[in-house]
Chains A and B, each alone.
Chain A
């Protein structure tokens, strides 16, 4: 039986300037799931991701493996939830690739040789072992994205959270990254505008709009539902022509559209 790994119960968040970002999100993620988060700009996707490892904490609504986001649990949660930011230049802040990938393991208090093996295996997993001594500044954007993923893989996370992993990548690099994500057998949460990426990597999709999850269901269903897609401003035939992969799986389950009463 698969266990709940992330439990989110009625999560609200308002930014200090008063703008409301999340307005009651409820979501359960099971071990091994890969959940795509889609939604237009400003729907609250990135803010939502920042709650998953306690960078933002609001009303104690998020539990990871049953653990609440308390100061005591935080170090453990952060090693369990690997969050990869959209801009790899922000993710990679150390002078060399080695220092960057080793940053997490060292902070976890691991011994020197264990840090080294972690760095090696994480870089190997993303095919970037040859770059270990390079300076991050001298990598291409595709290489940076890969190393950025390695920086959290080295912490041996159980959940991988990615914000727009394919932005700014050319089609080849993009496909390589998708293949890489499919190779990793962790629980994955991926927020993206790239619906083809979502359809290729995720089994479930949550559609966000104005700080809420307005639809949640199997990927193929959501990507074929015209009313949900209308929220994104996508016409169905656009999607089908742009993303043939989305058509592969026939719809099997009805989409559960959250009702107004659930949301409030």
Chain B
């Protein structure tokens, strides 16, 4: 069995004046993820280490962290790929730290709510909504978002200006706007059209690169720059 050094950012606001790093040697097998490495530390070396996790299989989106400076889900990042290390684990960039690796998600949750991430049907729904495979294809990839916030940690614009609605919320906004069963586009365009809506993005594209679910938020945002531009100029002809 090999051993790898895991270097973790620690911050307990009640006792630490500022964040610090702590290292542990962690024995690992080839099938062990970074998350399992953290669990080994918590179970055997230091029970006070705090981090979020749940499903262990890239579904729940809880275990995101910066692994050697890159936003990753720790459950699907393997220690064998990081050997000989050391592995540096930090909380996701651009978010306030609650404790150790646990970040405060409140800002994102507010933004998620602001984009109305649910189907807003017509006033009078007419029975079952039928949808063709082509219609589903238009939104399907965006529906795979698990709210893990890796894209927010990757986004330099969110880092510079946290009022920016950000990649995941805008991708989910697009997921509902692009759904043939939805009639809430006009309400959501109000968010899209603001300075901190799609216009906070400068198409860096790192959000799409780090997404563990193959969602392409950069594409969603930039499709909505076109939508917002059409909305801006065509509103004069509509009424």
A binds B: no
Listed in ascending order, the chain A residues whose CB lies under 8 Å from chain B are none
B residues in contact (CB < 8 Å) with A = none
